[in-house]
Structure 1
């Protein structure tokens, strides 16, 4: 009985650190096999407009969830951030489902580099992305490099959420520090001309 308990306790203790490390977001910029792919990556431009607005006073300091399509005609939580006055709220112009939109926070300096000018109100207005992105498709081998546990998703390190950002097989990694889900890529981006 004591040997069985001791063996179970040792097994649990040895596997616990592995579980913790697997849950840690991966900084893909430190993986040479992934970064080498950006040398020959294609350039994409956003064909859809991005809606942008300034944060509302009552939102400051509160959680701001970002949802993406789950590939099953629904949505899933991608990241959760805290609203500050140093960000722009970005949104796709069409909902994922019903009244749930893919909305995310972008630091103001990144917004101006990407879209040109800052929004001037707390109401959404359309902006066209002025900077193309380099993006590489996420395949099974890349998911393995990113520490995927299910062969379908992985979590990458991002500057705006300590818990990281979920990326998906057949989605894309952009050369900055984020992922684009497959449905969002298909609907909102095209090859640069």
Structure 2
């Protein structure tokens, strides 16, 4: 009995280090089974306006975390970036919880292509998205293709964070290079008409 327990304990201890390392971000654009789904993907438009502002001087060079809903009434860290002077701070109107908002950084050229005009101050202004996105729902099969280790999430490669971006089952992959969490998709996007 003691020997069986000892073998189980050693086996568990040896498997622990692999559990401590997060999966490498996966570049979904290189997976043909995923990219072929975009050929017939639905077009979505953001129904909720996006708030946008220029970075504040004291924010430059500082960490900028992006939080999303965790599906359990709270929030979780999605990405962490360094604030630069060539981005726009984008934000949803309503908080995820309490005073925690889904806010993220968008390069200024991408912002102009997506929303038209740049914000003119460091205070949030409201903008309506002028472009549509193609998006495909993330299911179990897609999570497997993305190397999911828990069957609920995966990490995709993105240009703005070397650690990648976490995507969620029942969320969506957008045709550019990002994911949209289920709650954010439901609350902020609709099928384009």
TM-score when normalising by structure 1? 0.91
Distance 1:122 1:18 in 2: 42
Could you say which residue in structure 2 is the equivalent of 1:51?
51
Could you say which residue in structure 2 is the equivalent of 1:150?
150
Could you say which residue in structure 1 is the equivalent of 2:107?
107
Distance 1:148 1:105 in 2: 26
Could you say which residue in structure 1 is the equivalent of 2:124?
124
**Alignment map for 1:29-178 (pairs within 5 Å):** 29-178=29-178
Distance 1:24 1:189 in 2: 29
Return the offset for 1:19. 7.3
Could you say which residue in structure 2 is the equivalent of 1:26?
26
Distance 1:77 1:96 in 2: 12
Return the offset for 1:186. 0.2
- For each residue in 1:55-93, what CA deviation from the matched residue of structure 2 results, as whole angstroms up to 9, or x when unmatched? 000000000000000000100000000000010000000
Structure 2: runs of 5+ lacking an equivalent: 1-9
Could you say which residue in structure 2 is the equivalent of 1:4?
none
Q: CA RMSD in A?
A: 2.0
Could you say which residue in structure 1 is the equivalent of 2:3?
none
TM-score when normalising by structure 2? 0.91
Displaced runs of 4+ in structure 1, greater than 6 A? Answer: 14-19
Distance 1:74 1:16 in 2: 28
Return the offset for 1:156. 0.2
Return the offset for 1:132. 0.2
Structure 1: runs of 5+ lacking an equivalent: 1-7
Return the offset for 1:23. 1.4
Could you say which residue in structure 2 is the equivalent of 1:5?
none
- For each residue in 1:1-41, what CA deviation from the matched residue of structure 2 results, as whole angstroms up to 9, or x when unmatched? xxxxxxx79x95x9968975x61100000000000000000
Pair 33,19 (structure 1): closer, same or farther in 2 beyond 3 Å: farther
